[in-house]
A and B are shown apart, each in its own frame.
Chain A
Amino acid sequence: MSTSTSQPDDFYVGYLPTPSRDRRFLWVFLPLCAFLAFALAVMTNAFARPTGDGVWETGAEVTLEGELVATPFPMLRVARADGTVERVLLVEMGKHGADARVAPLVPTDGTRVAASARGFLIARGGQRMLELADANPITLGGTLPTRAEPRNIGEVVVAGEIVDSKCWLGVMKPGDGKAHRDCATLCIRGGIPPSIICQAPDGTERRALLVARDGAPLSFDALAPWIAAPVVVRGTAEMLDGMAMVRASEIGAADELARAEGAPQ
């Protein structure tokens, strides 16, 4: 079109100079919009849900020694300096469990196996997991910690959320909630041990490994509908060297079970 010699008055045309009234107006309006947007950016973070103190020490390879356990999930029983024993869950990189690697190394007749495992620590609230390194992360041999029987706690009803232990312990922040559901589902499908998390009456977060009534892993199909949804799990609980585990006899939607039972504990 022709270039214009007209006076720019209060009529805006993109290819002509912006009228001064428009310019003045936009100098107020646009910064205001930008300010509102920046406020949104700040608030999204300032009021975000806390994500816990989990850490994922990628890059800092460590080696732990102890008793290799294959069931219900791969773990290493590691002796602490004070004589107690800690259970460290073992997982592979990505969203993969370590069953295929660990199961062949542990005889099913109850013979105990000493081993050391190399990898990267994932830890939250004093609970640790080891993400196994790429090549030959497990070496057999070493000293075994003292044997200990599981300590039975009895019947429990836990209202909480089913998560995959790896993300929740520190790989993803947050590693729980609805937005994370598909990821948790993919992790559990891949063999990452599922856990039930809940709030203790004192407000602290608790996590227990979640298995079937017979102590074996729950089937993925049985678990899938309940992952990252508000659920109530009924069953029996036990402590394995300080790690809580719930054998689920029933999993249901939180509101349904609550209605049937009165308030769960």
Chain B
Amino acid sequence: MSVSYRAVQWNPAKKAYDRRLAFVIAGYLAVFFIAAATAFETSPLILAMRACGTAAIALLIFILSIGPLARFSPRFSALLYNRRHLGVTMFLLAFAHAALATVWYHGFGVLEPLTSILTSILTSGSPFEGAAQIPFQPLGLAALVILFAMAATSHDFWLRNLSPRVWKLLHLGVYVAFALLVAHVAFGALQDAVWPGFAWMLAAATAWIVALHIAAGVKEWRADRVRRALAADGWVCVGEVERIVEETAEGRAKAVIIDDCRKVALYRENGAFSAISGVCAHQGGPLGEGKIIDGCVTCPWHGYQYIASKGQSPPPFFEKIPTYELRIEGRTLYVHPQAKPPGTPVPPCKIAGLEGASS
């Protein structure tokens, strides 16, 4: 995890992941060129440019899909695990696409390629003259710059040094890049297409991404809106002890939201409950959906671990997350609304009659 930074931290799962990724991309390029050989004749460099461009956009749609899909089913978690390798690969494909277009369309002329690009951008027609005049290369270029910033800062080194907030914000740029790329294709390749199916495919892909994110957002929002009763001293009621015990398997957590926005994970471990922040210190993964493995809460996204009663990663790691106090009154479980500073140990709240079971 975070003791030292290595270029990329490899493990068998990541290697298998990358092998499959390389296999699918190689397969894509092979299918593309075989299909091209049997279709209309196209210049080889233009083919390569199209192959890289379409592969990049298909990969981006996949990348943007697995996040919200994982909100609906944990089966997608395995895809999330190594998502940044997908992102970096996607950037490389987009870069190859741009480099080929630069060499082929802007090379061999009376202007230097970069001068030619700049001249093209500065002299392009006004967007008000119709779709045929809207310059599409600057849209692609802007997306590429964003994707580059993201690929360059994808390592955990940057996550730590830029602070997770800034990092997350920067990486939300992927949605800006996606919008730019949809426009890049719509005002570029689609203007030359004769088959209307391409426009429908782009529209369908865009609609899929938007709908998926709205659906995932609505699901979160619903979960966030549960009204919680408060005790006289401000402690927040999270429910009947019996129900919570029933709903939560040993080693698992009940995820609750308090104050309309704060995520808390109530972990059941050895007949007691510990409350920790539901947000992973790494990239904000949902700790409420994690599991206790070897005595540590394990994040479902990349497997960061925490000792539930301490709010800290086990040594030698030093990630810390906020903890919460719990108390039982009558048959109701309450959580203190004030989070303890990250890494503050809080004794687990024993549940009478619940035997400690080993995980």
Contact = CB atoms under 8 A, between A and B. Distances in A.
A18 B13 contact: yes
Contacts of A38: 27-28, 31
A33 interface: yes
A150 interface: no
A83 to B, nearest CB: 34
A238 B46 CA distance: 35
A4 B35 contact: no
Interface string B4-36: 000000010110000010001001110110011
A189 B109 contact: yes
Interface string B34-66: 011011111100100011001100100010000
A7 B192 CA distance: 56
B298 A13 contact: yes
B99 interface: no
Contacts of B298: 11, 13
A33 B27 CA distance: 12
A1 interface: yes
B108 A172 contact: no
Contacts of B46: 172-174
A26 interface: yes
A222 interface: no
Nearest to A53: B41
B331 interface: no
B124 to A, nearest CB: 9
Nearest to A178: B191
B170 interface: no
Interface string B292-315: 011010101011010000000010
Nearest to B110: A190
Contact of A224 (B55, B123, B132): B123
B37 to A, nearest CB: 9
A182 B120 contact: yes
Contacts of B197: 43, 47
Contacts of B133: 229
Contacts of B305: 1
Nearest to B23: A34
A173 B43 contact: yes
A44 B300 CA distance: 37
B106 A183 contact: yes
A246 to B, nearest CB: 21
B138 to A, nearest CB: 11
Given A34-B24, A255-B130, A186 B116 contact: yes
Contact of B132 (A4, A5, A26, A178): A178
B: contact size bracket = 35 or more
A48 B201 CA distance: 14
B75 interface: yes
A135 interface: no
Contacts of B188: 178-179
A14 B11 contact: yes
Given A1-B305, A47-B198, A172-B46, A6 B41 contact: no
A187 interface: yes
Contacts of A48: 39-40, 42, 195
Given A34-B24, A46-B39, A178-B132, A190 B109 contact: yes
Contact of A179 (B28, B116, B189): B189
Interface of B: 1, 11, 13-14, 20, 24, 27-29, 31-32, 35-36, 38-43, 46, 50-51, 54-55, 58, 62, 74-75, 77-79, 81-82, 104-106, 108-111, 116-117, 120, 123, 125, 129-130, 132-133, 136-137, 187-189, 191-195, 197-198, 201, 290-291, 293-294, 296, 298, 300, 302-303, 305, 314, 317, 359
Given A47-B193, A186-B105, A190-B109, 19 more contacts: A1-B1, A2-B314, A15-B11, A15-B13, A16-B293, A21-B75, A33-B62, A34-B27, A42-B35, A45-B39, A94-B108, A95-B109, A179-B105, A181-B120, A182-B105, A182-B116, A186-B110, A229-B125, A230-B132
15 contacts: A11-B74, A11-B290, A11-B298, A12-B78, A18-B13, A30-B20, A36-B58, A37-B28, A41-B35, A45-B42, A47-B194, A95-B108, A183-B106, A225-B125, A230-B132
